[in-house]
Each structure stands twice: as C-alpha cells, then as structure tokens.
C-alpha cells in the first residue's frame, strides 16, 4: 500500500473515530487489502431516522378535497362568475370584471374577496369614494392575506382622493404589524408623506426600501424618489456604510452588474479597509462578468500583504486560468496554498485546482483531493473530496481504502448528497474483499434510506440477487388522527381560492400563512400543488418554472418519499414530484420504436418537464430538447418538412427525439450509453466507452467524467422506475386531490 493510501485511511477513519466513537483502524503497511475485513458494526453506518408521515391524508397539505375540486372544474353560477371577474380585474380589465364580482350567496368564505375585488375594480375605474365603501364592507371579515392587502388599497384610495394624511395614517398602522410585508407599504408610505409635504419622512421611508430591500423590484422606484428629494449638498450620516452594506447584499445575491455599480459609487467616499473592499469587489464583479483582463488588472493593488490578500490572490489566479494561462494558474495556486495553508481561500483553491487536473491528470487530481481532505476534513468540499478519493481507490483496486473512506464519510456526513453513492460503493468494495456480511449490511442501509432512488434500487437488486429478504420500511406514518382542526387559520380561504383556480391569490394566502405562523411541510406541499395545477391548467407564463419548482418544493416538503416506505405517500403527493403529460404521444412512439415508455417519460421529464415550448441556453427546443441541426437531420430521415416551428409541436418533437434516441441505442447498445450520449454527445460517449473496457454498467455511470451527465443518467434511470410504479399501465394525467 502506498503512502497516500495510508494517509487517507488514517485521516478519514481517524476523524470519523473522533467524531463518532467508531472503532475503525488504519491498515498497517504489512497487511494485505484482501485480509482486512472489519465487522459491519465497525462501519458506524446505520439507517437515518426519518420524520413520521402525517397520520391522516388531510394533514399533508391544504388543498381542496376531491369532490370540491371536481365540482369546481365544471364551475357554474356565482363561483364561476366570481372567478372570471377576479381574473379580469387582476388583468386590469376593471370595467368587464366589476359586475361579475358582486357578493352572491354561493360565495360563502370568499365574500370578503368579492368585496375586496369590487373595491379594486372601482379604484381602477377612478371611483375612489365607492371603493372606500367596498373596502369598509370587508371590515373585520378580512382574514389572511386580505388583512395585509386591504390597508394598501385603502391608502391608494385615499391618495386618489387627494387625502395623503389619511393614507399615511393607514400605512403607519399597517406597518406596526410585526410580521407584515414591508417593501410595498414603505414605498406607498414614502409617496403619501411626499404628497403630504413631509419631505424628510418620505426620504426615511424610501431609504428603508432602498437599503433594507435591495433585491426588491421596488428598490429602483425608491432610488429614483431619493434622487428626486435629496439635496446634493446634504451630508447623510452613515450613508457610506449603508451604501457599502447594500452593495454587499447585491454582491452576495450574485447581482454582479448592480453590485459593481454600487461599489463604484461607494469607492470615491470610502477610506481604509472599506475602500479596499469596494475596489476588490469591483474587480471580482469584473471576473464574474467575464471581463478577465480587467479583473486581473484591477486586482493588482490588493495582492500585497493585508486583510484581503488571500481573497485577491484567489480571484487573480482564477481569472488567470479563465484567460487560458494554465501553467501560471497552477504556479499561482501552489503559491497561495503554501502561503496561506488554512485559509478558506486555500480551500477554494484546492477544490478548483483538483478540478483543473481531473480528466487530464487523475493522479495529480487525486493528490490534491487528498490534500484538501487533510487540511479541511470538515470543510465545504470535504464530501466531494471523500468521493473522489474513494472512487479513485476503487478504480485502482484498493477496496479496503475505498470502503474505509466511504464508510467514514457516510458516518461523518449523514445528510450529504453523496451518502447513497458512498454507501453503495462501500458495499461493492466489501464484496470485492470477500466480506459478504458487511456488504449485505450496508446494502440494507442503502435500500432502507434510498429505496426509491437510483442507488437504493441497485442495492435492492443486489439483495434480491443474493436471496435476501426485502428491507423493512424506514418511514412510518404517525398515529391515525382525525381530520382535526385547520392547519392554518386561513385554510378555508386557501382551499376555496384553489378550488376555483385562482392560483395566484391562493399562493399569496399560503405565503401569508408561512410568514405569520411559520413554515411547515404542509404549507410547502400546498405551494407545490398550486404551482403544479397552475402550470397544467395553462394559467402561467412560465409552465417550466412552475412544474420544476413544484417538484423541488414537494421533494423538500416530504423527502421521505425516497426511503423504504416512502411509497405510502399518497399518489397525489407523488404525482407532484413525478408529473406527467403527453402520455398518449409518449406511448405511441415508444411502442413504435420498442422503447420502455416509462424510460422515455423520465427522459422528457428531465429534459423539458413536459413543457413543449421551452428553449435552453444551448438553443435546444421542445419536449425532448432537440437542437436545430439534429432536428433537421432527423426530419429529413422521416420525410418531415423542417421548420423551426415544428420543434415546439409536441408530436413532431417526440417523433424526432425518439428516432434520434433509437439510433443512439442501436449504435451504443445500452440505455445508459444512449442517455449519456443524448446529454453529452456521441463522440464523447464513444471515447468514454473505449477508455473503460470491461466496466460494469454501474461502474461506467459513476466514472462518467462530466458530473452533469453522470447525474443525468442516474436520475433518468431511477425516475423511470418511479413513473412505472406510480402510473403503470394506467398512465393518465390525474388531478384529483386528497380529501
């Protein structure tokens, strides 16, 4: 065993022993890898404790029950009239919407909303006094979001009637609410005070918007008002500090252009360390804006010893690499590491330097990852370093080192995204060492924690092949509870708005509930459901963002879906995570080319999230994200007249995409190869196959050089099984909700 291996085993196992009290021992130089077989208990690896699932279907989220929703989808009478009117008013068509939103007996819980929309329409039509009466009629009936929105509209009405003092009083009262939204009422308050002649008070309100909410859409309006009202010769106390703090907020939010402009404005009046910080941030912004030469030049004054030296040197060497000077980049990186061995910027440098070597010099990359793990064993990139070290060891046949590295990392970082891969390959390594008991124990952990995922299914298949019993569910439901009271006080209103497809209003109610009473899985799931419905019903200008956002939010709300027992989540919840559309077309062309339709469904879900007109930054278009040259080639093969417009036609896009995928399957002979080629290109996959003769499928996938392609293949293969289990041969879009 070489010195690097000994260092890694001692380091990773030793840190894990200190942190967790596990009895791992580093291998001695005289021992042979095949002879080392730690007992499974020595790994410190156990299944994760998962939060119990709700004990009653109604506790998962705040959505209309099935009967209500089915009735709403065929809306008639007062509900249909109100919903239509509210949409017209939201779109600014006040005259058409007004007669439709009058209070009717059937509105019940939405009566306050009917009065509110009546007031908004009247205000929009210039009938402010009548609007006042409508808003007054809401009165104490306002609950949820309306309690916050009503004062804003009343203030606007007062302003329309040339009564800014009344508007000021209303808004100041609203701002006394401790958890209320701030930026909109503050902007209105500034305008009201300005109209009332209170210039200083107006400036105070505008400045709060400008400085406290720099990422808000209203910040630009506040800035214009400040410029209009503030005298150039007035000295504002602490203005430079406030401007610097605001610029930092923009920088941290990755608003590079706005941040750069803010730091440029601060630079002439800043002194000392503040001036250095502003200058450094301008240079860093240039780097992020891909102005490499400007960045290198601007960074020069900050490379000298001082509080910003390591940071400035990091960006200088990074910009040098971006300009193509690879040799000098490596020299500068090594110098920074030597001069500041434990700086956070050294950690960043080591991670980037390792990435620089990956693919071109794997031995050098391995050494840099080991250095990163040694210097920063619990740092930002420790999880990635553990994966790279362990995987390189696996490929070199150092299975003991692989197992020890991955088992220690899994124990040290139990919530890491790498954990399922660590554990799966630790089990594979234990098998290679002949320790079947340890391997089976770890396979059971992987299957228990990640059964409904790529690695969990690999582990489950490994257990089945060895005639092991299936793993017991690691996710359980809470005690069976009755439907009980409301999850949040405005639950009835959220359900009512959702049932008549006023999705934007429903989302505002959910956001209000989150701010007032705290976030929860149920509220997150409600947001996901509403966004999913809004997308599928065509009520959004960005279907892709809504569907993809709903997936992400629901996964966060109920991560238990991935573990053994996660299948017991209601199908309606799982259908948000795994949405489906265009099934007849998917099935038609899958059958035509003899594909697994659920693999094709997973491919389309990954590529476009079932959004027919989505276009990527690489100019890939449509459901199967075809680039025009490929689409043109296959249109010719199939005798289809090509035009750019056919790429957004669902059937044509699927037909062309699946024919292309068929050729990839025919050429490369496996779905994992075809998927990798679909993502990274045919020439690359041909080279990768040639460079990895004899690799098993799971080994090949985890050795794909591009992390994006690697995750792409794993995600689609895993998701295909989810679609198959959830929809089966009954795969039809289902919009029913839980009771």
Domain boundary among 232, 260, 277: 232
Q: With the C-alpha atoms ordered 69, 71, 77, 78, is the resulting torsion angle positive or negative?
A: negative
**Cα 704 to Cα 684: distance, rounded to the nearest angstrom:** 10
What is the C-alpha radius of gyration for the chain, rounded to an integer number of angstroms? 30
**Cα 598 to Cα 114: distance, rounded to the nearest angstrom:** 45
Q: What is the pLDDT of residue 24?
A: 29
| 88 and 112 belong to one structural domain | yes
Chain centroid to CA 338: how far?
Answer: 36
Task: For tokens 């690879």, name the residue.
Answer: 326
| 705 and 625 belong to one structural domain | yes
Domain boundary among 554, 577, 600: 577
Task: Please choose, from the candidates 95, 84, 145, 147, the residue with its C-alpha nearest in 3D space to the C-alpha of residue 120.
Answer: 95
CB 123 within 8 A of CB 154: no
**Cα 512 to Cα 495: distance, rounded to the nearest angstrom:** 14
| 649 and 563 belong to one structural domain | no
Q: Quick one: tokens of 218?
A: 């209203």
**Cα 331 to Cα 366: distance, rounded to the nearest angstrom:** 18
- Count of positions (residues) in the chain: 739
**Cα 661 to Cα 640: distance, rounded to the nearest angstrom:** 17
| 700 and 554 belong to one structural domain | no
Task: Please choose, from the candidates 146, 145, 143, 140, the residue with its C-alpha nearest in 3D space to the C-alpha of residue 118.
Answer: 146
Q: Quick one: tokens of 223?
A: 């800035």
Q: Is residue 298 part of a domain?
A: no
Strand partners, 615: 621
| 540 and 626 belong to one structural domain | no
**Cα 262 to Cα 240: distance, rounded to the nearest angstrom:** 11
**Cα 736 to Cα 296: distance, rounded to the nearest angstrom:** 58
Task: For tokens 């299914």, name the residue.
Answer: 457
| 81 and 185 belong to one structural domain | yes
Q: Is residue 140 part of a domain?
A: yes
Q: Is residue 11 part of a domain?
A: no
Task: Please choose, from the candidates 641, 669, 671, 670, the residue with its C-alpha nearest in 3D space to the C-alpha of residue 656.
Answer: 641
| 498 and 618 belong to one structural domain | no
Q: DSSP alpha helices (H): ranges in 612-670?
A: 628-638, 650-668
Q: What is the pLDDT of residue 34?
A: 33
> What's 115's domain CATH number?
1.25.40.10
Chain centroid to CA 532: how far?
Answer: 15
| 666 and 572 belong to one structural domain | no
CB 453 within 8 A of CB 718: yes
List the domain range (segments joined by +) for residue 639.
Answer: 583-730
Q: Is residue 400 part of a domain?
A: no
CA angle centred on 61, ends 59 and 65, rounded to 5° = 90
**Cα 153 to Cα 143: distance, rounded to the nearest angstrom:** 15
Q: Is residue 178 part of a domain?
A: yes
Q: Is 144 left (phi over 0), alpha (psi -120 to 50) or beta?
A: left
Q: What is the pLDDT of residue 700?
A: 98
Q: Is residue 361 part of a domain?
A: no
pLDDT average per 10 residues of sequence, the chain (739 residues): 44 39 31 32 74 91 73 67 96 97 79 96 98 92 91 98 98 92 96 97 97 96 95 81 97 98 96 97 98 97 96 98 96 98 97 94 96 97 98 97 97 95 98 96 96 97 95 81 81 95 97 96 98 89 94 98 94 97 97 97 98 94 97 97 95 98 96 98 96 96 96 98 87 41
CB 548 within 8 A of CB 701: no
| 626 and 592 belong to one structural domain | yes
Q: DSSP alpha helices (H): ranges in 451-570?
A: 454-465, 491-499, 503-517, 521-536, 543-557
Residue 402: exposure state from Cβ atoms within 10 A (0-12, 13-18, ≥19): buried
**Cα 382 to Cα 376: distance, rounded to the nearest angstrom:** 7
CB 185 within 8 A of CB 163: no
DSSP 477: B
| 221 and 83 belong to one structural domain | yes
**Cα 384 to Cα 208: distance, rounded to the nearest angstrom:** 41
| 565 and 600 belong to one structural domain | no
| 637 and 722 belong to one structural domain | yes
Residue 649: exposure state from Cβ atoms within 10 A (0-12, 13-18, ≥19): middle
Domain boundary among 577, 609, 644: 577
Please give the tally of structural domains in the chain. 3
Q: Is residue 3 part of a domain?
A: no
C-alpha distances (whole Å) from 282 to each of 21, 295, 368, 643 are 47, 8, 30, 45
Chain centroid to CA 85: how far?
Answer: 35
Q: With the C-alpha atoms ordered 32, 35, 37, 38, is the resulting torsion angle positive or negative?
A: negative
> What's 696's domain CATH number?
1.10.530.10
Task: Please choose, from the candidates 394, 558, 383, 315, the residue with its C-alpha nearest in 3D space to the C-alpha of residue 5.
Answer: 394
Q: Is residue 621 part of a domain?
A: yes
Q: 453 — phi, psi (to 5°)?
A: -155, 175
């Amino acid at each position: 065993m070489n010195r690097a291996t000994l260092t890694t085993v001692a380091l990773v196992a030793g840190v894990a022993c200190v942190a967790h009290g596990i009895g791992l021992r580093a291998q001695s130089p005289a021992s042979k890898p095949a002879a080392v077989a730690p007992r499974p208990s020595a790994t410190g690896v156990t299944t994760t404790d998962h939060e119990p699932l709700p004990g009653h279907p109604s506790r998962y989220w705040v959505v209309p029950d099935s009967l209500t929703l089915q009735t709403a989808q065929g809306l008639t009478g007062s509900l249909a009239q109100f919903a239509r009117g509210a949409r017209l008013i939201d779109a600014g068509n006040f005259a058409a919407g007004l007669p439709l939103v009058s209070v009717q007996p059937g509105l019940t819980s939405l009566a306050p909303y009917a009065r509110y929309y009546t007031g908004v329409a009247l205000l929009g039509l210039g009938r402010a006094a009548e609007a006042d009466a409508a808003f007054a009629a809401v009165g104490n009936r306002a609950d949820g979001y309306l309690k916050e929105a009503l004062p804003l509209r009343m203030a606007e009405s007062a302003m329309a009637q040339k009564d800014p003092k009344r508007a000021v009083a209303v808004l100041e009262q609203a701002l006394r609410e401790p958890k209320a939204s701030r930026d909109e009422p503050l902007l209105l308050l500034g305008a009201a005070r300005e109209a009332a002649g209170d210039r200083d008070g107006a400036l105070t309100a505008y400045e709060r918007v400008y400085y406290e909410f720099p990422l808000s859409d209203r910040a630009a309006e506040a800035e214009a008002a400040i410029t209009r009202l503030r005298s150039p010769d007035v000295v504002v106390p602490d203005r430079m500090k406030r401007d610097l703090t605001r610029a930092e907020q923009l920088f941290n939010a990755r608003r590079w252009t706005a941040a750069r402009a803010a730091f440029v404005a601060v630079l002439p009046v800043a002194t000392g360390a503040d001036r250095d910080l502003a200058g450094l941030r301008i240079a860093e912004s240039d780097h992020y804006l891909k102005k490499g030469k400007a960045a290198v030049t601007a960074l020069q004054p900050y490379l000298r010893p001082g509080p910003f030296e390591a940071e400035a040197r990091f960006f200088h060497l990074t910009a040098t690499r971006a300009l193509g000077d690879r040799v000098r980049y490596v020299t500068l990186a090594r110098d920074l590491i030597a001069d500041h061995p434990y700086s956070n910027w050294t950690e960043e440098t080591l991670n980037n330097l390792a990435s620089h070597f990956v693919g071109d010099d794997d031995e050098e990359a391995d050494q840099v990852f080991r250095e990163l793990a040694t210097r920063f064993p619990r740092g930002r990139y420790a999880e990635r370093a553990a994966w790279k070290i362990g995987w390189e060891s696996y490929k070199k046949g150092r299975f003991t080192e692989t197992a020890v590295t991955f088992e220690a990392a899994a124990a040290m970082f139990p919530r890491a995204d790498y954990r399922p891969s660590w554990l799966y390959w630790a089990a594979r390594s234990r098998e290679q060492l002949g320790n079947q008991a340890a391997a089976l124990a770890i396979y059971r952990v992987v299957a228990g924690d990640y059964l409904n995922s790529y690695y969990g299914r690999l582990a489950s298949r490994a257990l089945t092949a060895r005639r092991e019993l299936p793993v017991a569910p690691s996710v359980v439901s809470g005690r069976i509870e009755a439907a009980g009271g409301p999850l949040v006080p405005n639950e009835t209103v959220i359900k009512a708005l959702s049932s008549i497809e006023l999705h934007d209003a429903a989302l505002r109610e959910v956001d209000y509930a989150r701010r007032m009473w705290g976030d929860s899985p149920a509220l997150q799931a409600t947001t996901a459901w509403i966004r999913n419905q809004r997308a599928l019903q065509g009520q959004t200008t960005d279907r892709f963002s809504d569907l993809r956002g709903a997936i992400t939010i629901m996964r966060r709300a109920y991560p238990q879906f991935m573990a053994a027992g996660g299948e017991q989540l209601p199908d309606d919840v799982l259908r948000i995570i795994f949405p489906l559309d265009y099934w007849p077309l998917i099935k038609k062309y899958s059958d035509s080319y003899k594909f697994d339709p659920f693999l094709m469904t997973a491919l389309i879900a990954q590529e476009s999230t079932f959004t027919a007109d989505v276009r990527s930054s690489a100019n890939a278009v449509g459901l199967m994200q075809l680039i025009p040259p490929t689409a043109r080639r296959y249109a010719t093969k199939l005798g289809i007249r090509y035009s750019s417009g056919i790429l957004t036609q669902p059937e044509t896009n699927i037909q062309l995409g699946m024919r292309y995928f068929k050729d990839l399957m025919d050429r490369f002979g496996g779905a994992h190869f075809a998927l990798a080629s679909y993502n990274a290109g045919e020439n690359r996959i041909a080279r990768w196959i040639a460079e990895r003769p004899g690799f098993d499928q799971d080994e090949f996938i985890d050795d794909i050089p591009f992390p994006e392609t690697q995750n792409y293949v794993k995600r689609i293969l895993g998701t295909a099984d989810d679609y198959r289990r959830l929809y089966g041969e009954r795969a039809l879009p289902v919009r029913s909700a839980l009771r």
